[in-house]
Amino acid sequence: MGEELRILYVAMTRAKEKLIITAGDKYLENKIEKWGMTGSVGALPFTVLSAASSYLDWILMAAGGAKRTIDVKNVPMKDLLVEEEKIRKKAKLYLELEQLRGEKPEKFRN
């Protein structure tokens, strides 16, 4: 568990300006309610930390007492897939145009 907490810590402390975390959970509202007040008690005891089943649980535990808000948006999977498909098509078109021009895309140049 200690190693997993270190991994989460490193991941969260590398942002330079803004950190956006996405997570999905079928019972997100319940988890927010469950872990909502744990962060307000200071350091979390091992018994509370060990009750977590995911990184999301730890984040919610820590954010419970913070003055920051957690913006919860329920996005249907269908909407995510549609958006992902749009992005994929744009990227494919861009690469095809670059091939027609005989140039490598800027991010692929040496």
Instruction: Judge whether residue 99 has pLDDT over 80.
Output: yes
Q: What tokens appear for 88 in the block?
A: 């994929």
Residue type at 29 in one-letter notation? E
Q: What tokens appear for 37 in the block?
A: 């007040």
- What pLDDT is attached to residue 70? 63
- pLDDT 10s digits, 8-65: 888 888 888 877 777 778 887 788 778 776 666 667 778 888 888 888 888 888 776 5
pTM here? Answer: 0.53
